């Protein structure tokens, strides 16, 4: 019976994706355990640690063994790990070769390697979906490169930006995450084989040779040393997922705020009754954005949990390892859900350029007070220009007048700048700085797809 949003038939495709759930399903996990056991036998047969015919029999028969799930569950609950029960079943069903299943390995070797195989599949999905969301953001950045809107600091209108600039800021973060994903893979996609305390003593002088062939059989890197209690690569993986979902959460938070009735500059895609209220027919709630924010918070907690589990005792941990079983699958599923929600939302994002312009004019010129100050500074000096414009802003606010009207009546300002120049300085569209050039920089520096 489902018990969380990640396995609930009602919620699971809001917070996660079916594709990622498959990667971390019991079926796939058991398949990866068997894959690791087969690779171990093949490697040992290849270097002469076990008879070649036994290795061949294990490789042929083990993948088709139908496991008794009920028995495996019972033994796992009794032992604390699933590998002993798995090995018992495999050994019983591959004939005489069964005596060589799991030869010289320890439970954590198989479980860690299976986790890495899952991570490899999961990272491929994350990498693909980060690229897909980035492609949508690039299109938005280019389309709205020169569309002026209010830039806001501390929730107040500050200076004009362009919507394309905002999208390019979002995009730049995802591009860095894509780079981090590429850099991460050589560190995390590494086989695990060390035996009881990591020294490979059970394999005699063939230990390093077996591990090398084991890694090669699985398409993983061969580590320089056992990492039973050095968990930094898996911790880095979950923390990277925290960064990715955090950046997506920032996008969701921005869109959520822009959807507010009083702002109304951008909206999630329209679908009949999407985001509807059970009692208020007019509502159009930011559903995808809310999930982006929620998932980011959840993965953040898992990232902290993984960091806590870095501290492990001696050569095999007594509990921190188990934390990964909780945090890692959940983090990947939530990250996949966030990427799916972000792609859906951004592909259908409704942008109201006219509302952006109206909002720019809400302060009747105050948003470009800095532009006026900088325009006056060469004539009056920076500090005097600041003080003059400050007083003009206060007067405009108190009397509900346009800033340009107040400025035009100030003799010092009128003497310093002609009216036409003042009007130009008071147009927000003329004070966008290098926003458009920065959009071009982000787009130009992106790697080719």
pLDDT per position as a tens digit, 132-182: 999 999 999 999 999 999 999 999 999 999 999 999 999 999 999 999 999
Is 12 domain-assigned? no
Q: Examine residue 398 and state whether it is found in any structural domain, yes or no.
A: yes
Is 196 among the domain residues?
Answer: no
What span, in angstroms and rounded, lies between the C-alpha atoms of 125 and 123? 5
| Cα distance between residue 37 and residue 59, in whole Å | 9
Pick the more confident residue, 283 or 169.
169
Strand partners, 152: 157
The overall average pLDDT reported for the chain is 93
243 and 176 in a common domain? yes
Token readout for 97 is 């070769």
Residue with tokens 């919507």: 163
| pLDDT computed for residue 438 by the predictor | 96
CATH value at residue 384: 1.10.40.30
Calpha distance 219→207 (Å, rounded)? 18
Range of the domain at 402: 366-425
Same structural domain for residues 266 and 415?
no
Give the start-end residues of each E strand in 208-356. Answer: 266-267, 350-351
Q: What is the DSSP letter of 433?
A: T
Judgement on whether residues 272 and 380 belong to the same structural domain of the protein: no
Statement to judge: residues 304 and 158 lie in one domain = yes
156 and 235: one domain? Answer: yes
In a domain, 338, yes or no: yes
Residue 7 lies in a domain: no
d(CA 170, CA 345): 14
Instruction: Tell me the C-alpha distance between 156 and 150, whole Å.
Output: 9
335 and 257 within one domain: yes
342, 253 Cβ separation under 8 angstroms: no
Residues 237 and 144 in one domain: yes
Residue 284 above 80 pLDDT? no
Residue 274 pLDDT exceeds 80: no
Task: Report the 10 Å Cβ neighbour count for 253.
Answer: 16
Which residue do the tokens 């993986």 mark?
237
pLDDT of residue 12: 85
For 80, other C-beta atoms within 10 Å of its C-beta total: 10
Q: Which residues of 103-116 are buried (b: 16+ CB within 10 A; e: fewer)?
A: bbbbbbbbbbbbbb
pTM above 0.85, yes or no: yes
Percentage of the chain exceeding pLDDT 90: 80
Both 243 and 324 in a single domain?
yes
Identify the three-state secondary structure at position 147.
coil
Higher pLDDT, 273 or 54: 54
Q: Give residues with Cβ within 8 angstroms of 104, minimum separation 6.
A: 44, 49, 195, 200, 202, 203, 207, 210
Facing residues of 435 across strands? none
Same domain, 259 and 354: yes
Number of domains in the chain: 2
Nearest to 422 by CA among 437, 412, 433: 412
Residues 312 and 398 in one domain: no
Domain shared by 115 and 261, yes or no: yes
Q: Is residue 322 part of a domain?
A: yes
* C-alpha to C-alpha distance for 357 and 136, rounded to whole angstroms: 23
CATH of residue 160's domain is 1.20.200.10
Residues 380 and 408 reside in one and the same domain: yes
Q: Name which of 76-90, 311-325, 335-349 the model is least confident about.
A: 311-325
pLDDT tier, 415 (very low <50, low <70, confident <90, very high otherwise): confident
Position 71 in a domain: no
- The set of catalytic residues is 154, 277
The answer as to whether 56 is a domain residue is: no
The token duo for 246 is 């955090």
């Amino acid at each position: 019976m489902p018990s969380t949003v990640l396995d609930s038939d009602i919620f699971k495709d809001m917070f996660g994706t079916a594709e990622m759930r498959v990667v971390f399903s019991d079926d796939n996990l058991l398949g990866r355990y068997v894959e690791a056991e087969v690779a171990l036998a093949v490697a040992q047969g290849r270097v002469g640690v076990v008879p070649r015919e036994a290795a061949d029999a294990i490789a042929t028969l083990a993948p088709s063994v139908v496991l008794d799930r009920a028995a495996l569950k019972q033994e796992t609950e009794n032992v604390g790990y699933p590998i002993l029960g798995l090995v018992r079943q495999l050994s019983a069903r591959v004939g005489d070769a069964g005596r060589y299943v799991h030869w010289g390995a320890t439970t954590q070797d198989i479980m860690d390697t299976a986790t890495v195989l899952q991570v490899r599949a999961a990272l491929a999905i994350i990498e693909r979906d980060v690229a897909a969301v980035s492609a949508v953001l690039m299109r938005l950045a280019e389309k709205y490169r020169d569309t002026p809107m209010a830039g806001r600091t501390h929730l107040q209108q500050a200076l004009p930006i362009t919507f394309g600039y905002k999208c390019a800021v979002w995009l730049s973060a995802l591009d860095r995450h894509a780079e981090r994903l590429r850099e991460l893979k050589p560190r995390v996609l590494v086989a695990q084989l060390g035996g009881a305390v990591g020294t490979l003593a059970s394999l005699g002088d063939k230990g390093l040779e077996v591990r090398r062939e084991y890694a090669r059989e699985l398409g993983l890197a061969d580590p320089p040393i056992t990492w039973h209690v050095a968990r930094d690569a898996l911790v880095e993986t979950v923390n990277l997922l925290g960064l990715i979902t955090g950046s997506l959460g920032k996008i969701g938070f921005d869109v959520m705020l822009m959807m507010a009735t009083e702002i109304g500059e951008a909206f999630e895609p329209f679908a009949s009754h999407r985001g509807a209220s059970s009692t208020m027919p007019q509502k159009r709630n930011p559903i995808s954005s809310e999930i982006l924010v929620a998932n980011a918070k959840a993965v953040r907690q898992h990232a902290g949990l993984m960091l806590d589990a870095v501290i492990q005792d001696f050569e095999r941990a007594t509990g921190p390892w188990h934390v990964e079983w909780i945090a890692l699958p959940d983090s990947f599923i939530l990250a996949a859900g966030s990427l799916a929600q972000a792609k859906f939302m951004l592909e259908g994002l409704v942008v109201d350029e006219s509302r952006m312009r109206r909002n720019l004019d809400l302060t009747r010129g105050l948003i470009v007070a800095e532009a006026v100050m900088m325009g006056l500074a060469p004539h009056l000096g920076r500090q005097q220009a600041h003080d003059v414009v400050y007083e003009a802003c206060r007067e405009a606010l108190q009397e509900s007048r346009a800033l340009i009207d107040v400025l035009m009546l100030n003799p010092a300002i009128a003497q310093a700048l002609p009216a036409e120049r003042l009007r130009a300085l008071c147009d927000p569209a003329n004070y966008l700085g290098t926003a458009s050039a920065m959009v071009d920089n982000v787009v130009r520096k992106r790697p080719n797809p």
